[in-house]
């Protein structure tokens, strides 16, 4: 019978786990890793039932599975969001949930900015101009008309935490007017950023571009819907690099078809990857990217290092760097 700490990775997106094996060998832990994303819950439970530390990427951890864990003392979510994990069930068991909110903030902010610029300058649609003009031998710019100067336009930011505030700071010298909504942002932090906060409706009614940077919860789910889309200017664009269910995708597709808004740029989807029949596929006035806003080589290594750090901390009896349900740490 072993007294070693058992660490299990349920699923991973890295090419392999060789680096992790090397790092954890120094800690003399029992380390196993799998690709269980599409496996039955019974198989997932078999692999993690007696684990002390579980690292999860996209595998679902519902209450009925969490209640059967025998030795778990830490779950680490490989990423920023944690909507695939039943936080309440972990809290009931006294198990902390660590997550990685700081590994790709620059990347997501840069993706949002890139998509804002792509909408403003109609970069994707410009290829149609080139192809059609090349075919007929003269320029025809109808596909990208109208286009407006970004300086002086209004950018709405919903959510001004790590990524939303970085987006603001990176864009503040581009001449935008800003409307920022975040009911959880302290007045002190708002003053430090030099911003004034407005309500949700003001952002939707008055922005030329809206970029979403809030966590997914019951309050934010489907915040972009038929009602909020109807508030927007017909020349406005919506950009989502946060979580897919922030947007009611059927409502957005209808708003794009009916030209209620000018366009959208979407990096995240309610179901990932989306089905070929997804309502946004085939629409001319939307830019779609495959949930890549988190990615850079730098971010990929950063999250691996941070996960190993949290494993080390747990073995040393220290709390994780960031804990979703920090109440379970009280008294430990």
Rounded-to-5 percentages of helix, strand, coil across the chain: 40, 15, 50
Output the six-digit token pair for 28: 């003399």
291, 312, 313, 321: the catalytic one is 291
* Bridge partner list, 288: 266
User: How many other C-beta atoms lie within 10 A of the C-beta of residue 118?
Assistant: 19
Looking only at the bridges linking them, the beta strands covering 209-212 and 177-181 are unpaired
Residue 272 annotated among the catalytic residues of the structure: yes
Within a 10 A sphere around the Cβ of 4, how many other Cβ atoms?
11
Residue 171's DSSP bridge partners are none
- What are the strands, taking DSSP E only, across 269-312? 286-288
Q: Identify whether 243 is a catalytic site residue.
A: yes
User: Which residues lie closer than 8 Å to 277 by C-beta, 6 or more apart?
Assistant: none
- Residue whose token pair is 């902010």: 109
Displacement of CA 71 from its chain's centroid (Å): 30
Which helix (H) or strand (E) covers residue 8, if one does?
A: strand 6-9
Q: Cβ distance 153 to 177 under 8 Å?
A: yes
Q: Which of 110, 243, 249, 304 is catalytic?
A: 243
Q: Which member of 21, 64, 272, 305 is catalytic?
A: 272
Q: Which residues are catalytic?
A: 243, 272, 291
């Amino acid at each position: 019978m072993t007294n070693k700490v058992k660490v299990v990775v349920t699923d991973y997106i890295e090419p392999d786990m060789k680096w992790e094996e090397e790092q954890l060998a120094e800690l003399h832990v029992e380390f196993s890793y799998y690709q269980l994303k599409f496996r039955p819950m019974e198989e997932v439970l078999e692999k993690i039932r007696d684990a002390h530390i579980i690292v999860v990427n996209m595998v679902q951890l519902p209450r009925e599975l969490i209640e059967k864990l025998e030795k778990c003392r830490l779950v680490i979510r490989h990423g920023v969001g944690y909507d695939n994990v039943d936080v309440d069930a972990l809290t009931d068991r006294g198990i902390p949930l660590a997550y990685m909110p700081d590994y790709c903030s620059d990347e997501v902010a840069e993706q949002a900015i890139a998509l804002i610029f792509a909408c403003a300058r109609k970069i994707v649609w410009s290829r149609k101009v080139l192809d059609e003009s090349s075919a007929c031998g003269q320029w025809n710019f109808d596909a990208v008309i109208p286009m407006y100067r970004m300086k002086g336009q209004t950018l709405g930011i919903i959510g001004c935490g790590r990524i939303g505030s970085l987006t603001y700071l990176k864009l503040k010298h581009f001449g935008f007017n800003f409307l920022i909504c975040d009911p959880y942002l302290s007045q002190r932090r708002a003053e430090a950023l030099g911003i004034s906060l407005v309500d949700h409706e003001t952002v939707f009614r008055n922005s030329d571009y809206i970029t979403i940077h809030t966590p997914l919860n019951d309050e934010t789910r489907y915040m972009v819907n038929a009602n909020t889309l109807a508030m927007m200017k017909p020349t406005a664009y919506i950009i989502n690099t946060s979580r897919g269910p922030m947007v009611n995708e059927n409502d957005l597709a209808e708003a794009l078809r009916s030209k209620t808004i000018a366009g959208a740029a979407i990096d995240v989807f309610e179901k990932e990857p989306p089905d070929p029949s997804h309502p946004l596929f085939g629409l001319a006035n939307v830019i779609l990217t495959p949930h890549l806003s988190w990615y850079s080589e730098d971010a990929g290594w950063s999250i691996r290092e941070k996960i190993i750090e949290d494993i080390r901390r747990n073995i040393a009896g220290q709390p994780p760097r960031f804990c979703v349900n920090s109440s379970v740490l009280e008294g430990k």
